[in-house]
Amino acid sequence: MIKLSNISKIYRKDSSPVIALDNVSISIEKGEMVAIMGKSGCGKSTLINIMGGLSEMSKGEYYFEGEKVDFSHKNKLSKLRYENIGFIVQNFALINSKTAYDNIALPLSNMKNDKKREIVERYADKVGIRKKLSHFPYELSGGECQRIAIARALINKPKLLLADEPTGSLDSVNEKVVMDILKKISDNGTTVVIVTHDNSVSASCGRIIRMKDGRII
Ligand code: ADP
Ligand code: MG
């Protein structure tokens, strides 16, 4: 499904460069549910951002379903992201001035309204927040916000769902709700990669990748 081959990432913001990833290689198969764990600063977000086509590695190669990802080809890269990759993050990244409905519908901007409503409602049902569609994010709990973000991430039927600390700001009840949803998504054939600090989260994953100082250990 995805293959990272000898990936390094060096940030050169100030005078002293930071080696965030140091020669990392990983293969993840279709339908796998994988946790990436390790201390803060070990390179987890850098790695998942490369997987998501959001930031480019300094060295190495990234293959998505056998095809080399070309970060210099911006149109092809955004097509890959739009059609194949869903992304969720710890603070949900919802737009506060838009309702839950409009947040979920964001990736469907060019679609006719009737069809759009049908699809948004179907995905809201999948994550159990259909009754909340007219609410704004600030009127909803963290667990509900994350479920909206998941519905939005899934609406284009991605093959790969990436989650950077998806339960990091949730209580244990909502953590379980979100993890049950992610497990179901994975059981339906979507590849799921989850960055987490939490052993109870990684326990639901089929494989744990541990990182330290930019390397896999
Ligand atoms: P994690 O997600 O495991 O906490 P990150 O991937 O965010 O780790 O960061 C890895 C290292 O790279 C850290 O030392 C961090 O300070 C540095 N880093 C991350 N993003 C940037 C950036 N945009 N510019 C400069 N340094 C960065
Ligand atoms: Mg991080």
Mean pLDDT of 81-102: 97
Q: How far apart are alpha carbons 49 and 43 in whole angstroms?
A: 10
* pLDDT score of 190: 97
* pLDDT score of 13: 77
C-alpha distance from residue 82 to each of 28, 122, 181 (Å): 20, 19, 21
Mean pLDDT of 18-36: 97
Q: Can you tell me whether residue 216 is helix, strand or coil?
A: strand
pTM, full prediction: 0.96
* pLDDT score of 54: 96
pLDDT in tens, 4-23: 999 999 998 777 899 999 99
Q: Can you tell me whether residue 84 is helix, strand or coil?
A: helix
Q: How far apart are alpha carbons 73 and 65 in whole angstroms?
A: 17
- Does residue 103's CB lie within 6 angstroms of at least one atom of ligand 1? no
* pLDDT score of 58: 97
Q: Indicate the DSSP class of residue 137.
A: G
User: What is the 3-state composition of the chain as percent helix, strand, coil, each rounded to the nearest 5?
Assistant: 35, 25, 35
Structure token pair of residue 38: 């390790």
- Does residue 46's CB lie within 6 angstroms of at least one atom of ligand 1? yes
Q: How far apart are alpha carbons 81 and 33 in whole angstroms?
A: 19
Structure token pair of residue 190: 């979507």
* Sequence-separated (6 or more) residues with CB below 8 Å from residue 57: 7, 8, 9, 21, 50, 71
Q: Indicate the DSSP class of residue 141.
A: -
* pLDDT score of 55: 95
* pLDDT score of 112: 93
Q: Percent of the chain, pLDDT > 90?
A: 96
* pLDDT score of 109: 83
User: Is the pLDDT confidence value at 89 over 80?
Assistant: yes
Q: Can you tell me whether residue 201 is helix, strand or coil?
A: helix
- Does residue 196's CB lie within 6 angstroms of at least one atom of ligand 1? no
Place of tokens 């993050």: 89
Structure token pair of residue 138: 């600030």
164 Cα–ligand 2 center, Å = 7
56 Cα–ligand 1 center, Å = 13
- Does residue 18's CB lie within 6 angstroms of at least one atom of ligand 1? yes
Mean pLDDT of 98-122: 95
Residue 26 φ then ψ, to 5° = -145, 140
Closest CA to 55 of 40, 42, 67, 43: 43
User: Is the pLDDT confidence value at 173 over 90?
Assistant: yes
